[in-house]
A and B are shown apart, each in its own frame.
Chain A
Amino acid sequence: MSQAAEGSSGGGTVEYIQHHLTNLCIGDCDPITHKAAGFWALHVDTVFFSVLLGGLIVLVSARLGKQLTEGVPGGFQNFVESILDFVNGQISDSFPNPPKIIGPMALTIFVWVWLMNFMDLIPVDLLPVIASWMGVSYLKVVPTTDLSTAFAMSFTVFFLIIYYNFKSKGAVGYLKMFLFHPFGKFFIPANIVMTGIEELAKPLSLGLRLFGNMFAGELVFLLIALLGGAATLGLGLLIWFPLQVVLDLGWLLFHILVITLQAFIFMVLTIVYLSMAHTKDH
Chain B
Amino acid sequence: MEKAKGSGLLLISAGSQLTSMVVAGFLLGYGVDVLLKTQPIFFLSFGMLGLVGGTLKIYRILSDPDLQ
Interface residues of A (CB under 8 A from B): 90, 93-95, 182, 190, 193-194, 196-198, 200-202, 204-205, 208-209, 212, 265, 268-269, 271-272, 275-276, 278-281
How far is A198 from B6 in the complex, measured between Cα atoms in Å? Answer: 19
Are the C-beta atoms of A204 and B9 separated by less than 8 Å?
Answer: no
The reply to whether the CB of B24 lies closer than 8 angstroms to some CB of chain A is: yes
Given contacts A190-B49, A197-B53, A198-B53, contact A94 B20 (CB under 8 A): no
Are the C-beta atoms of B53 and A209 separated by less than 8 Å?
Answer: no
Contacts of A200 in B (CB 8 A): 24, 27-28
The reply to whether the CB of B10 lies closer than 8 angstroms to some CB of chain A is: yes
Are the C-beta atoms of B46 and A208 separated by less than 8 Å?
Answer: no
Are the C-beta atoms of A197 and B21 separated by less than 8 Å?
Answer: yes
CB distance from B37 to the nearest CB of A (A): 19
Give the number of A-B contacts (CB < 8 Å): 89
Are the C-beta atoms of B3 and A197 separated by less than 8 Å?
Answer: no
Among residues 8 to 39 in chain B, which have CB atoms less than 8 Å away from a CB atom of chain A?
A: 9-10, 12-13, 16-17, 19-21, 23-25, 27-28
Given contacts A193-B46, A196-B28, A208-B20, contact A279 B9 (CB under 8 A): no
Interface residues of B (CB under 8 A from A): 1-7, 9-10, 12-13, 16-17, 19-21, 23-25, 27-28, 46, 49-50, 53-54, 56-57, 68
CB distance from B58 to the nearest CB of A (A): 11
**Residue of A at shortest CB range from B1?**
A281
Are the C-beta atoms of B2 and A280 separated by less than 8 Å?
Answer: yes
CB distance from A76 to the nearest CB of B (A): 29
Are the C-beta atoms of A269 and B12 separated by less than 8 Å?
Answer: yes
Are the C-beta atoms of A279 and B4 separated by less than 8 Å?
Answer: yes
How far is A94 from B19 in the complex, measured between Cα atoms in Å? Answer: 25
Q: Mind listing 7 A-B residue pairs with CB under 8 Å?
A: A194-B53, A197-B25, A201-B23, A208-B23, A268-B9, A269-B9, A281-B2
How far is A42 from B68 in the complex, measured between Cα atoms in Å? Answer: 38
